């Protein structure tokens, strides 16, 4: 079944196995609909001089941990968000649903864009020591402004620890530890409120025995 221009990007992923396979294959060379929407967004933000910082799965991709996703998570200041709304709503972007203030759709790819506001709280949205950063503190990877790896890990841990529906964020952290060979010492760079969880996840990765690794199993 072919994709439909009348559906959202993620709805087409669910509806059409052919579309889903094609988009997944293109994701890892950063040429699928999500990445086309991302590059178009970045170009417009740069032209409008609106600072941003990529977070979430796409940011992890830039740091070397490849995970497929169907949306874009990006941090802006409240002033940057207002400027974006004034400049671009109706010109390539629309609210994702009626009344949406900081969630949009790219009208070409129908990809969802979630804007996270500097100073806001991840996970359950309640006050906590970990907050979304100022985009001026971003680093540049592959010509994209990206939140530092330490901050991404910190945000994901804070999110997964406080929101039951965000347990995937803890799984992402665990997989990032494995895929990127993150050191235990990275925990010392994180906020104290999430440090113990990072260390716990690190040990779940490094203390596990692979039953197919006989040599390691014997040493244990």
pLDDT in tens, 186-199: 999 999 999 999 99
Q: Are 147 and 138 in contact (CB under 8 A)?
A: yes
Tell which residue, 192, 33, 182, 168, has the closest CA to residue 109.
33
pLDDT in tens, 50-96: 999 999 999 999 999 999 999 999 999 999 999 999 999 999 999 99
Q: Is 54 exposed, middle or buried (0-12, 13-18, 19+ CB in 10 A)?
A: buried
Q: Are 112 and 71 in contact (CB under 8 A)?
A: yes
The whole-angstrom separation of Cα 120 and Cα 137 is: 15
pLDDT on residue 212: 58
Residue 54 φ then ψ, to 5°: -75, 135
pLDDT average, residue stretch 135-146: 97
pLDDT at 215 over 80: no
pLDDT at 28 over 80: yes
Lowest mean pLDDT among 113-117, 196-200, 207-211: 207-211
For residue 211, what pLDDT band results from cuts at 50, 70 and 90?
low
Fold annotation for 9-207: Beta Polymerase; domain 2 (3.30.460)
pLDDT at 217 over 90: no
In this prediction the pTM is: 0.91
pLDDT on residue 107: 96
pLDDT on residue 210: 61
pLDDT at 213 over 90: no
Look up residue 19 and give its two tokens.
């579309």
Look up residue 144 and give its two tokens.
């994209």
Give the alpha-carbon dihedral of 123, 128, 129, 133, to 10 degrees: 50
3-class SS letters over the chain? CCCCCCCCHHHHHHHCHHHHHHHHHHHCCCCCHHHHHHHHHHHHHHHCCCCCEEEHHHHHHHHCCCCCCCEEEEEECHHHHHHHHHHHECCCEEECCCCCCCEEEECCCCCEEEEEECCCCCCCCCCCCCCCCCHHHCEEECCEEECCHHHHHHHHHHHHHHCHHHHHHHHHHHHHHHHCCCCHHHHHHCCHHHHHHHHHHHHHHHCCCCCCCHHHHHHC
Length of the chain: 220
């Amino acid at each position: 079944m072919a994709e439909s221009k009348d559906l959202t990007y993620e709805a087409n992923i669910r509806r059409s196995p052919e579309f889903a396979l094609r988009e997944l294959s293109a994701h890892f060379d950063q040429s699928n609909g999500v990445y086309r929407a991302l590059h178009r967004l970045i170009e417009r933000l740069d032209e409008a001089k609106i600072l941003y910082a990529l977070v979430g799965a796409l940011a992890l991709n830039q740091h070397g941990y490849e995970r497929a996703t169907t949306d874009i998570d990006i941090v802006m200041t409240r002033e940057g968000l207002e400027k974006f709304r004034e400049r671009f709503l109706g010109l390539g972007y629309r609210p994702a649903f009626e009344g949406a203030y900081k969630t949009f759709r790219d009208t070409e790819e129908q990809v969802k864009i979630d804007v996270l506001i500097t100073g806001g709280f991840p996970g359950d949205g309640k006050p906590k020591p970990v907050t979304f950063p100022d985009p001026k503190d971003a680093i540049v990877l592959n010509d994209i402004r990206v939140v530092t790896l330490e901050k991404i890990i910190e945000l994901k841990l804070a999110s997964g620890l406080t929101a039951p529906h965000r347990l995937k964020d803890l799984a992402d952290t665990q997989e990032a530890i494995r895929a990127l060979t993150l050191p235990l010492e990275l925990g010392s760079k994180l906020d104290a409120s999430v440090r113990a969880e990072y260390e716990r996840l690190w040990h779940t990765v490094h203390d596990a025995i692979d039953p197919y690794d006989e040599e390691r199993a014997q040493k244990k």
